[in-house]
Amino acid sequence: MSVFKYEKDADGIVTITMDMTGPVNSMNEEYEQAMGETVEKLEHEEGLSGVVITSAKKVFFAGGNLHGLLAFQPGRDEQRFMDSLDLIKGQLRRLEKLPVPVVAAINGAALGGGYEICLACNYRVAWNDRSVQVGLPEVTLGLLPGGGGVVRMTNLLGLEAALPYLLEGKKLDPERALKAGLVDKTVDSLDQLVPAAKALIKEVKDQPDAAVQPWDRKGFKIPGTNINSPKMAQVLMVGPTMLVKKTRGLMPAPAEIFSCATEAARLDFDTALRIESRGLTKLVGTPEAKNMITTFFFQLNKINSGASRPKGVEKKKVKKLGVLGAGMMGQGIAYVSAKAGIDVVLKDISVEAAEKGKAYSEGLLDKAIQKGRMDPITKQQILGRILPTASNDDLAGCDLIIEAVFENFELKNKILEATENQLAENGVWGSNTSTLPITQLAEASKKPENFIGIHFFSPVDKMPLIEIICGDKTSDETLALAFDYTQQIKKTPIVVNDSLAFFTSRTFGTYLDEGVRLLSEGVYPVQIDNLGKAIGMPVGPLQVHDEVSEELTRKAAETWEAMGMKDRWGERKATEEVISWMIGEHGHGGRYHGGGFYEYAGKERKIWQPLIDRYYKADHGISEDDIKDRLMFRQVIETLKCLETGVLRTVADGNIGSIMGIGAPPHTGGFLQYINTYGAQRFVDRARELAAKYGERFEPPQIVVDKAAAGELFE
Amino acid sequence: MSTQAYIYDAVRTPRSKGKKGGSLNEVKPIDLLGGLLRSLQERHDFDTGYVDDVIMGCVSPVGEQGTDIAKLAAQNADWAESVAGVQLNRFCASGLESVNTAAQKVASGWENLVVAGGVESMSRVPMGSDGGAWASDPAFVIKTGFVPQGIGADTIATLEGFSREDVDAFAMQSQKRAAFARDNGYFDKSVIPVKDANGLTILERDDFIKPDTTMEALAGLKPSFEMMGSMGFDDVMLKKYNSLSKINHVHTPGNSSGIVDGASAVMIGSEQAGKDLGLTPRGRIVAGAVLATDPTIMLIGPGPAAKKALKTAGLKASDIDLWEINEAFASVALRYMRDLDIDPEITNVNGGAIAMGHPLGATGAILVSTMLDELERRNLKRGMLSLCVGGGMGISTIIERL
């Protein structure tokens, strides 16, 4: 009995229902066998009038076998991999060449390989439901759609129209897919799906080309501008360059996709399919693909499925949330929470201040309306959930209170004392601190077990990460609620243990510090920032320092000193010297504090000349490679220390946290995964080399030395 | 000659059908040539920064072969940025013209090391893609009496009395010789397999050769140029060759050169270049010649060009050990042998373009590698290479094994 159920009805239509072993259908060996047998049988089926392909699972088809892809070894597996792609493509080619119409009845998500099967059908009918999505997201994992996706999309839509789906990996709901031509028909209920597919077969049966794919028709021309026309020459000149501007040349997949799609527009269908296979074979072996598959698929799934959430604690929803402080962070927290359907009490010292915080939400909602992503009624509903107030009494019965006031110990203690008693029974107190230790803050609480750090990133509505920090006494129930709340507001939670500056701020701090060190050693500041971007960081270390402000760095240092924690994570003399000179003598405390490393006039930004006069040395003798590695290794080493000392509880949290919270380059898969493909021993050697040249902060932590010796990965 | 122009190596890609379905159709011209340059470097591990210039022939230098593919291929092969590159076009002579130009550059003392060759992906940039007044400007066509090459080849056969059987027999021999040479590894030294970015082989050896060709099968093919001739080109020809009553259309796809994809590269340098890079020369360029004859019949230039080269070199035909005449059409090779009174047994000994194909811009330099290999294999000294060329031109080069 095949895992592809085969049923022929009285009209001669065969329905294939994919129901593979395990929770999902995917492109593994079982698939190859089942599809092979099915196509063979269909080719010999007498009285066949049409084929419907659907799935018995909730997801139509899940795509490639990512475990298999991770095991790919360059230099060993290329031929075997090409052979397997040939097999898969050959089967799909035979499917689309059947003499009868073949219709995909898409009952669940059809992404990647799933949608590639749909593309090899003559028609695509989809259930118009939230659970259904189509698209080719391979690029987001450093891959390309190698089951005919690049070639069929290019032939179906034309090069220019196909590229955005291939390069961005956009997922479409059935309605959008219908508009874009990615599905041909939608139905409103699941019951109608297969009948609608069969009806379509009957409807088209007299059309001469009904069973012939467009690209197999005589005289077929790819839609859109001809690849050889001068107009296309413009697209081909600018397109790849725009791509590199985005990827900084650090992502091989989009480049390969662009190249394969262009070849598909130039060459015959079957030759293009072979080029596509070569392209995927090339990408599968790259460190980038391994990194992205590991982190964005396996580790992110693990995190989202609650691996860090305490087991056995019942799932809860926050119904009423208190937000203390209606400043930049508080107003953002209020917005994302109200949007998620939570009643929010937004408290500040005056009603005016609180209302100003609420107005922030109104502004964001109005913008969304302008962009057509929001309607006025929903806007009113969301705003109706935010109560701006100056009264502590309004906080009564909150399941969760999050404070987002200034980073000041006494202030935080004071408001804790004043409002903690308003919490519902077993309510949780969350502090959105980014620098102060949770355990110490919790000491002022009557219920330190209900105290937890909930660290948001700015701007709150855009940043996808929440860093949850457990103090020494934080209970499992408290952690579970913080975790549930994070998912309620559709963000990704990482869970870390308490320690000065936690994981993200502490690690990010090393990037800022190393940038300033390079400056004080004489490197030209613009070059420092450009090389920061060249390694894949979103912004250079000096520019981003201006954004978070040198002023904040100075204040944090003061606070740490007051806490007796100065130089807790290593000396910062260079940064102290540079910043005290900038602020002390020139009032340069950051972009919004009189300028920083740069001077700002509106949108214009230029380097601040006194900086060059004081620090730049043409003969600093530091190579570009050293500059890049210093900026990268500092952060990786700090992440290793966090893992070594248990600040980080899992490798997954370190990777996802570094990418979503710090801006670690996505192609590295995060600061820990980076080592896996860089090579642990190579990393240790290079770190020691940097340590010898630039100081002990580059000494590799024992944990990576051990991994290298054992030949193990960070998993 | 102030400086000798030595041949340090000569390589080529295998050739394959230059149409959809051909093995090299999936390879971009820039990769076909770039890959060959990369392999050449890997083979000798020389500093590419030493190369002064890369000269590449290409006959349809538009689209993917457009701008200056020589420079682009050098970049694509990651050669040093100091290496210059130029594409040239002398129709079917382009590859050999590149070799001769490189030899002149070295011999003049202007340059020390030049890589010469050519590329043509006829499957991706079909013949005629570049347009040109030659065949498509009515005023020029009428003024000069343009006639497609095939009709020129048929006219040669008619003038010389080569029957259909004669040209088919020559084609048959080309197939057999090429298949024998390939199967016995005579080409292995110079043919570098084409690989993809993953190191997987796309094509290892020539796959255009049809070893099972029979005279019957050849005889069954329709003449290619009869219809075109009847449209008026025969009349244009007969106006010039007015002793003929008609043109005997004997050429078919079976006895004409094949449309294929391929690339070639020859390293030509001074003695100093060899010393500097630690390379031993395999041969030297003795002399080269180019000239033009009647542009209407178009294909009778090779004989005169060979004679001119012999004269320049101060040699006689009997000083030549092996001959290569590009098999654009069977009659061209037959006429060449008759012009020079040479033995078919020492001409195109390993077959030619009828069997293996004629990637227009690359062919001339391909002949350098086949000739050099064969001189070495037979332990002979001197070889003559010739091609017929559009516009009635002819080109020849004499090389000597060292």
**C-alpha dist (Å) from residue A241 to A161, A224, A247, A531, B37:** 18, 21, 10, 19, 26
Answer yes or no: do A278 and B198 touch at CB < 8 A.
Answer: yes
Calpha distance A539→A524 (Å, rounded): 16
Spatial contact of A299 and A652, defined as CB atoms under 8 Å apart:
yes
A266 neighbourhood in chain B, CB within 8 Å: 124
In the prediction, which pLDDT does A409 show? 87
How close B274 comes to chain A (CA, Å)?
34
**C-alpha dist (Å) from residue B170 to A151, A427, A543, B255, B342:** 44, 97, 75, 8, 15
Residue B124 structure tokens = 């991706």
Burial B267-303, CB ≥16 within 10 A → b, else e: bbbbeebbeebebebbbbbbbbbbbebebbbbbbbbb
Calpha distance A519→A587 (Å, rounded): 19
Shortest CA distance to B150 belongs to which of B294, B295, B329?
Answer: B329
Answer yes or no: do B26 and A271 touch at CB < 8 A.
Answer: yes
State pLDDT tens for residues B235-250: 999 999 999 999 999 9
Calpha distance A510→A302 (Å, rounded): 28
State pLDDT tens for residues A284-324: 999 999 999 999 999 999 999 999 999 999 999 999 999 99
CA nearest to B198 within chain A: A282
Q: What 3-state class would DSSP assign to B294?
A: coil
State pLDDT tens for residues B211-221: 999 999 999 99
Tell me the pLDDT band of A565, cut-offs 50, 70 and 90: confident
Calpha distance B310→B289 (Å, rounded): 9
Q: Which of A455, A545, A588, A667 is catalytic?
A: A455
Tell me the pLDDT band of B1, cut-offs 50, 70 and 90: very low
Spatial contact of A86 and A61, defined as CB atoms under 8 Å apart:
no
A75 neighbourhood in chain B, CB within 8 Å: 199
Q: Which residues pair with A123 in a beta bridge?
A: A103
Beta-strand pair B84-88/B53-57: parallel
CA nearest to A228 within chain B: B63
Answer yes or no: do B200 and A271 touch at CB < 8 A.
Answer: no
Number of neighbours of residue A164 by Cβ within 10 angstroms: 12
Best A151, A226, A256, A274 member to test B by mutation, with max B CBs in 10 Å, is: A274
Residue A385 has pLDDT above 50, yes or no: yes
Answer yes or no: do A271 and B25 touch at CB < 8 A.
Answer: yes
Chain B residue set in contact with A, beta carbons under 8 Å:
20-21, 25-26, 28, 63, 124, 196-200
Helix (H) or strand (E) holding A331: helix A328-339
Calpha distance B172→B215 (Å, rounded): 7
CA nearest to A256 within chain B: B197
Helix (H) or strand (E) holding A707: helix A702-710
| Sequence-ordered list of residues with C-beta below 8 angstroms from that of A420, at least 6 positions apart, any chain | A401, A429, A445, A446, A447
Nearest CB among A78, A82, A267 relative to B25 is that of: A267
Nearest CB among B63, B124, B198 relative to A282 is that of: B198
Calpha distance A519→A617 (Å, rounded): 9
Best A72, A86, A275, A286 member to test B by mutation, with max B CBs in 10 Å, is: A275
Residue B117 has pLDDT above 50, yes or no: yes
What residue has token string 């490798």? Answer: A651
How close A271 comes to chain B (CA, Å)?
6
Calpha distance B107→B130 (Å, rounded): 33
Calpha distance B218→B254 (Å, rounded): 6
Spatial contact of A247 and A292, defined as CB atoms under 8 Å apart:
no
Nearest CB among A79, A228, A271 relative to B200 is that of: A79
State pLDDT tens for residues A127-158: 999 999 999 999 999 999 999 999 999 999 99
3-state helix, strand, coil in chain A (%, to 5): 55, 15, 35
Spatial contact of A526 and A533, defined as CB atoms under 8 Å apart:
no
Q: Which residues pair with A110 in a beta bridge?
A: A61, A134
Kindly tell me the burial class for residue B204, based on how many C-beta atoms sit within 10 Å of its own C-beta (0-12, 13-18, 19 or more): middle
Calpha distance A313→B185 (Å, rounded): 74
Please state, rounded to an integer, the average pLDDT across all residues of chain A. Answer: 96
Nearest CB among B21, B124, B197 relative to A278 is that of: B197
State pLDDT tens for residues A473-531: 999 999 999 999 999 999 999 999 999 889 999 999 999 999 999 999 999 999 999 99
DSSP one-letter code for A140: G
How close A675 comes to chain B (CA, Å)?
24
Tell me the pLDDT band of B2, cut-offs 50, 70 and 90: low
CA nearest to B28 within chain A: A263
Asked if B249 is an active-site residue, the reply is no
SS (HEC) of B251-264:
CCCCCECCCEEEEE
End-to-end C-alpha distance for chain A, whole angstroms = 38
B196 neighbourhood in chain A, CB within 8 Å: 278
In the prediction, which pLDDT does A559 show? 85
How close B293 comes to chain A (CA, Å)?
36
Answer yes or no: do A228 and B63 touch at CB < 8 A.
Answer: yes
In the prediction, which pLDDT does B249 show? 98
Residue B90 structure tokens = 């002398």
Residue A193 structure tokens = 């799906």
Q: How many helices (H) and strands (E) does chain B have?
A: 15, 12
State pLDDT tens for residues A342-363: 999 999 999 999 999 999 999 9
Spatial contact of B395 and B387, defined as CB atoms under 8 Å apart:
yes
Answer yes or no: do B200 and A281 touch at CB < 8 A.
Answer: yes
Answer yes or no: do B26 and A281 touch at CB < 8 A.
Answer: no
In the prediction, which pLDDT does A436 show? 87
Best B26, B124, B201 member to test A by mutation, with max A CBs in 10 Å, is: B26
State pLDDT tens for residues A70-100: 999 999 999 999 999 999 999 999 999 999 9
Best B67, B196, B202 member to test A by mutation, with max A CBs in 10 Å, is: B196
Calpha distance B126→A440 (Å, rounded): 77
B22 neighbourhood in chain A, CB within 8 Å: none
DSSP A363-418: HHHHHHHHTTS--HHHHHHHHHTEEEES-GGGGTTEEEEEE---S-HHHHHHHHHH
In the prediction, which pLDDT does A560 show? 87
Mean pLDDT of B90-114: 98
How large a percentage of chain B has pLDDT more than 90? Answer: 99
State pLDDT tens for residues A631-676: 999 999 999 999 999 999 999 999 999 999 999 999 999 999 999 9
Answer yes or no: do B26 and A79 touch at CB < 8 A.
Answer: no
What residue has token string 């065949």? Answer: B135
Shortest CA distance to A253 belongs to which of A295, A281, A294, A232?
Answer: A281
How close B292 comes to chain A (CA, Å)?
35
B20 neighbourhood in chain A, CB within 8 Å: 267-268, 271
DSSP A605-670: EEE-HHHHHHH--TT----HHHHHHHHHHHHHHHHHHHHHTTSB--HHHHHHHIIIII---GGGTS
Helix (H) or strand (E) holding B239: helix B234-240
| Continuous H helices in A71-158 | 78-96, 113-119, 149-157
Residue A326 structure tokens = 């209606």
| Sign of the alpha-carbon dihedral angle for A703, A704, A705, A711 | positive
Calpha distance A13→A6 (Å, rounded): 10
Chain A residue set in contact with B, beta carbons under 8 Å:
75, 78-79, 82, 228, 263, 266-268, 271, 274-275, 278, 281-282, 285
Asked if B58 is an active-site residue, the reply is no
The dihedrals phi and psi of B116, each to the nearest 5 degrees, come to -120, 150
Residue B58 structure tokens = 């290409």
Spatial contact of A596 and A588, defined as CB atoms under 8 Å apart:
yes
Q: At what angle do helices B302-313 and B330-340 cross, to 10 degrees?
A: 40
Answer yes or no: do A278 and B20 touch at CB < 8 A.
Answer: no
Task: Output the pTM of the full model.
Answer: 0.93
How close A247 comes to chain B (CA, Å)?
21
Residue B257 has pLDDT above 70, yes or no: yes
Q: How many interchain CB pairs under 8 A, A with B? A: 33
